[in-house]
Amino acid sequence: MSKDQAVEDSANMGKLQISNAIFTGGFNTVTRMHLIKLDTNNGGGLCSDCEQSYTHVSDDEAEDQALSLLSMADDFETKDSNGFGSEVKNNDVKHQPNFGEKTRRSLTSKLPVSPTILIPYRLLTIVRTLLLGFYLTWIVTHPNDESMWLWRIFNTCELWLALSWLLEQLPRLCLINRSTDVSALKDRFESPNLQNPKGRSDLPGIDVFVTTADPEKEPLLVTANTILSILAVDYPVEKLACYLSDDAGSLLTFEALSDTANFARIWVPFCRKHEIEPRSPEAYFKQKHDFLKNKVRLDFAGDRSRVKREYDEWKVRINSLPETIKRRSGAYNSTKELQTKMNPSEMGEVSLNEIKIPKATWMSDGSYWPGTWEDPGENDHSRGDHVGIIQVILASSDAKPVYGSNKNGKNLIDTTNVDIRLPMLVYMSREKRPGYCHNKKAGAMNALLRTSAIMSNGLFILNLDCDHYIYNSLALREGMCFMLDKGGDRVCYVQFPQRYDGIDPDDLYANHNTLFLNVNMRALDGIQGPYYIGTCCIFRRIALYGFSPARVTEHHGLFGTKKTKLLRRKLTVSKKEDDEMGTQINGYTLDCDDADDADTGSLPLPKRFGNSTSLASSITVVEFQGTLLQEFDSKDNRGRMTNSLTAPQEQPLDVATIAKAISAISCVYEDNTEWGKRVGWIYGSLTEDVVTGYKMHNRGWRSVYCITKHDAFRGTAPINLTDRLHQVLQWATGSIELFFSRNNSLFATRRMKFLQKLNYFNILLYPFASFFILVYCFLPAISLFSRQFVVQSFVTLLTFNLVDSITLYLLVIIEIKWSGMTIANWWREKQVCVIWATSSFPVAVLQGLVKFITGVDISHTLTPKLATLKDGDDEFADLYVVKWSFMMIPPITIMLVNTIAIAVGIARALYSPHPEWSKLVGGVSYSFWVLCHFHPFAKGLMGRRSRALNLFYVWSGLVSIIVLLMGIYITSDSRAQNHMKFQFP
């Protein structure tokens, strides 16, 4: 038998073997029992060490003995740190055990980048920094006396751009690679052992949050596919709960979720039976590769065709829901109106013509929908004015698997050996009333946080947008490897990269964000961790509650931590009797060591978390369960505690529990509490994700960036130019808001590393570069028009630029080798950075300044999600749609001005008797370089080639007309002047 095996239950053979049973004491001490063989058929056996016989033991007694062996571990003491030389205290145990050391497989690995990459990368960074220093020194010390104003503007722009590069580059010096071992996770938490002979999962609970706000901009099919991918994920069913927050309070979303749960009873067993990937039906059935590849079950093709047919019918039902609800409501409203008119006692003195029956929205059971009505006739049912709603669509499951049955009239596929349980599924729509600030997505996430604490209280939380589905069914397990490994108690969240479907092959507007996701975020993983980017993130619940981590760093070097100081989080609990409610917890005190929380760290629980006693009782459970096994005191915890990472078994959800949850999502619950300030998702910014992650890093937590071999999650991105401009505008505006707030990293605590502060400061500062880039884009044209250049020596400037470019491209080559991006990705992102800096960023800066000065809130525009396409539709049809936006004016103006400047400069040089070729080449080359950066923008404006002239053609035609009408003739006047003149006829 293997040394790592604890128990093997062989019912058919009539034997129970316990081989080399392992007891874990503390973190690194182990004790090993000698080989015991219990043979129920022969009535005895021999010990492999002393060769003495054992008495007969039945199967039930053997299992009881295996469970009781855990208590025996407390009778062993280790005499040294390696676990050797221990002795037995219990006199009832006859045989002296053997002792040995067990090597525990690490769940994750953190490897530094190869020296062949890291050392040259750092050296090139130093070289380019020195080159920039020499270059800036040269341009500052060599003024251009012919055009001092142009030289000063150029110097200012160069200094700012050099500073921006330095702020972005320095945090990239700590490159690392991470990997996970999912099989080790299974061995540690789901394999049979002495305290868990049946090998039931001991993984912690995970609550999945999905948010949606508008069923029109966020199509129901997109949201439903996300829910199905969650329900079918490879994770213990009893440990998983899915919550959908519907900020619109729409009956469409509710009934779509109910129908999704019904289809999940077919889809989830099919995925488990045939190991389907990905587990979003829309993504799976759209795959173009051979779906029969690597499939060995003979019934796969038949099962797939039946499920596909059922999915197509389900899609029709979802798509027809708006019309179905409309017809149903119309019929109910007509019946209600007729009943009222036929009952004179209810009419009173009102005439028949004056009777007005509100056009309510009706549920399928014939009752009023408590959320938003399509035609709101009552104040309690309008958009932004409705009660809170919680509905358990699927109840939580027991730990014991439930297997299906053979294929028959009710079952589409044979599920006799397939677990057909489904995770818990809950619909939630928080209460909304006029006059209250509901804080957009952050408010919805905090409502989900409180609801889930009362109903399931998962130790970890997965946050997904409604259009981001689980692409890799092992994604949750990969995230748990970081959370449950050694030192994982200091990890507040595991951020996965955002990957997208439906992006055009050229990625015209850099929707993949490869440079940011594959380089910047991975580099931050080597410091204190990546930002939180709003979705595809697994949180530790205790970190969201505002707790400090178990350890925070005390001293920091430029490239990492030099010394660590232990700071355990403390939770003081006081109880008192209440005549009406009995015993309740009402006196929690959180000793928060964060300077930002110093004024509220000792507040009682109601002042910090609200008055919900159910929420209060859940916090103590989460705080204790958040402690890793390795952190238990080795003297008091010799062996592994049964279900030590899982919360106590929750009672079945009843009406009282749901009522408590509804009270926690009321409009007034957060009043006079710390929700949105230091607890939960932070309010006050359009980018609540960045500031929420910043708060955690500021308390000393660290985060982890998890790039899986196969994409963990995938979503949709706006491929239309206008929608992309508005998306970037929202991000940039959020950065400006944070720059003018207390969450500026300049005010960060000592717990945040220096390079981490630098990177946070960079993401707050980058929108301000828009004004310098705008000026920079006009400088070449101004030089051509004025016949003056920014510096005196064009050759020296060109030499500096060539050497600097070579150094920069060498850095890019190393980044490509390390991160996996391509030259095309890098160049496209550099292009769109210039486009955004001349369109969205200036507007963002102005909006942020207006909010800072006047206090006027900035409106949030919901990014529309791509709907499911029908067969034959153009997948990239939206890419070619030209939607006008005022943000397009600056880029168009830049392209026009530089095009005219090139034409004028060339014409002037051709007809001049003494052309200044150096100034012409300098101005033309830099103008052409500017135009190269706007190629994606111009291509987006052109749209389909087969369409008629659009806005770009009109502007291009105007430029051509101006150039053609420009009459250039030469007049020579040797006595007055000796150079060429330009005159218009």
CB 950 within 8 A of CB 890: no
DSSP output for 654-709? -HHHHHHHHHTTSTTTTTTS-BTTTBSSPPSSS-HHHHHHHHHHHTT-EEEE---S
Residue 217 is assigned to a ligand binding site = yes
Kindly report, residue by residue over 38-54, the tens digit of the pLDDT: 333 334 444 444 444 44
Average pLDDT for 574-589: 33
The number of beta carbons lying within 10 Å of the beta carbon of residue 648 is 9
Burial classification of residue 716, based on how many CB atoms lie within 10 Å of its CB (0-12 exposed, 13-18 middle, 19 or more buried): buried
What pLDDT score does 924 carry?
A: 86
Residue 682 burial (CB count, 10 A): 26
Indicate which residues carry an active-site annotation.
247, 689
- Can you name the residues that pair with 46 across neighbouring β-strands? 53
Beta-strand relationship, 491-495 and 537-540: antiparallel
* Predicted pLDDT at 856: 76
Residue 349 or residue 563, greater confidence: 349
Going along 142-264, which residue ranges are E strands? Answer: 176-180, 206-212, 240-246
3-state secondary structure of 618: helix
Query: Is the pLDDT at 532 greater than 90, yes or no?
Result: yes
Would you state the torsion angle of the CA atoms of residues 980, 982, 983, 985, taken in this order, to the nearest 10 degrees?
110
Residue 509 corresponds to which tokens in the numbers above? 């507007």
What average pLDDT does this structure show over 382-411?
87
**Contact yes or no for 512/714 (Cβ under 8 A):** no
How far from chain centre, in Å, is Cα 347?
Answer: 56
Average pLDDT over residues 355-365: 80
Q: Both tokens of residue 380?
A: 């309690």
**Per-residue pLDDT for 3 more than 90?**
no
Contact between residue 424 and residue 395 where contact means Cβ atoms under 8 Å apart:
yes
* pLDDT in the model for residue 165: 93
- Residue range 415-426: average pLDDT? 93
- CA dihedral 375→380→385→390, nearest 10 degrees, is -100
Distance from chain centroid for Cα 327: 39
* Average pLDDT score, the chain: 77
Q: Is the pLDDT of residue 130 over 60?
A: yes
Beta-carbon contacts of 757 under 8 Å, excluding residues fewer than 6 positions away, are: 745, 746, 748
Tell me the C-alpha distance between 207 and 458, whole Å: 5
* 276 within 8 A of 285, measured Cβ to Cβ: no
Q: Indicate the burial class of 755 (C-beta count within 10 angstroms; 0-12, 13-18, 19 or more).
A: buried
In total, the chain counts a number of residues equal to 985
Runs of H (alpha helix) within 528-585: 541-544
Q: What angle do CA 611, 615, 616 make, to 5 degrees?
A: 75
Strand partners, 240: 206
How far apart, in whole angstroms, are the C-alpha atoms of residue 858 and residue 848?
8
Q: Span 10-26, mean pLDDT? A: 31
pLDDT band at 412 (very low <50, low <70, confident <90, very high): confident
312 vs 923, higher pLDDT: 312
Provide the residue type at 818 as one letter.
W
From CA 703, how far away is CA 701, in angstroms rounded?
7
Least reliable range by pLDDT among 570-584, 643-657, 712-726: 570-584
pLDDT at 581: 30
- Torsion-angle region of 943 (φ positive above 0: left; ψ -120 to 50: alpha; else: beta): left
Q: Indicate if the pLDDT at residue 592 is higher than 80.
A: no
pLDDT at 16: 29
Helix axes 721-739, 823-837, angle to 10 degrees: 70
Residue 326: phi and psi, rounded to 5, are -65, -45
Q: Is 441 annotated as a binding residue?
A: yes
What distance in Å separates the CA atoms of residue 488 and residue 505, rounded to the nearest whole number?
Answer: 39
Helix, strand, coil share of the chain (percent; to 5): 45, 15, 40
Cβ–Cβ under 8 Å, residues 26 and 486: no
Q: Cα–Cα distance between 245 and 965 in angstroms, integer?
A: 61
pLDDT band at 449 (very low <50, low <70, confident <90, very high): very high
Answer whether 433's CB lies under 8 Å from 385's CB.
yes
Asked if 172 contacts 464 with a C-beta cutoff of 8 angstroms, the reply is no
Three-point CA angle 711, 712, 718, nearest 5°: 75
How many Å apart are CA 443 and CA 302, to the nearest integer?
A: 46
> Which pLDDT tens digit goes with each residue over 24-35?
223 222 322 332
Separation of alpha carbons 942 and 949, rounded Å: 8
Spatial CA neighbour of 706 closest among 104, 237, 110: 110
224 forms beta bridges with none
Please name the helix (run of DSSP H) or strand (run of DSSP E) that holds residue 62, with its range, or none: helix 59-72
Residue of 351, 356, 178, 324 lying closest to 255 (CA atoms): 324
Q: Angle 980-983-985 (CA atoms, 0-180°, nearest 5)?
A: 145
Residue 570: band (very low, low, confident or very high) from pLDDT cuts 50, 70, 90: very low
Mean pLDDT, residues 470-495 taken together = 93
> What's the CA gap between 667 and 388, in Å, rounded?
9
pLDDT in tens, 270-324: 999 999 999 999 999 998 877 888 787 888 999 999 999 999 999 999 999 999 9
How far is the C-alpha of 799 from the C-alpha of 805, rounded, in Å? 10
3-state secondary structure of 141: helix
Distance CA 45, CA 17 (A): 11
**pLDDT in the model for residue 366:** 87
- Whole-number Å distance between alpha carbons of 919 and 250: 64
Of 197, 236, 697, 227, the closest CA to residue 480 belongs to 236
| DSSP bridge pairs for 87 | 77
Q: Please give the angle made by the CA atoms of 962, 966 and 971, to the nearest 5 degrees.
A: 165
Nearest CA among 449, 452, 401 for reference residue 425: 452
pLDDT exceeds cutoff 90 at 230: yes
Burial tier of 411 (Cβ tally within 10 Å: 0-12, 13-18, 19+) = middle
Higher pLDDT, 177 or 592: 177
Backbone angles phi, psi at 555, to 5 degrees: -120, 140
Decide if pLDDT at 958 tops 90. no
- Grade residue 788 by pLDDT with cuts at 50, 70 and 90: confident
Mean pLDDT lowest among 180-184, 266-270, 528-532, 960-964:
960-964
pLDDT mean over 714-742: 89
Peptide bond into 278 cis (omega under 30): yes
Joined together, the tokens standing for residue 626 give 């958040």
Pair 580, 613: CB distance under 8 Å = no
Contact 427, 257 (CB under 8 A): yes
Confidence at 110, pLDDT banded by 50, 70, 90: confident
How far apart are the C-alpha atoms of 728 and 159, rounded to whole Å?
A: 25
Q: What is the Cα–Cα distance from 391 to 634, expressed in whole angstroms? A: 44
H or E segment to which residue 5 belongs = none
Residue 6 tokens read as 């604890």
d(CA 683, CA 270) in angstroms, rounded, equals 42
Most confidently modeled range among 350-364, 416-430, 553-567: 416-430
Query: What angle in degrees, to the nearest 10, is found between the helix axes of 655-663 and 440-455?
Result: 150
Q: How confident is the model at residue 36 (pLDDT cuts 50, 70, 90)?
A: very low
Q: Which of 139-153, 230-244, 401-415, 646-660 has the highest mean pLDDT?
A: 230-244
Of 554 and 837, the structure prediction assigns the larger pLDDT to: 837
Spatial neighbors of 334 by CB under 8 A, at least 6 apart, are none
pLDDT of 544 strictly over 50? yes
What is the structure's pLDDT at 951? 53
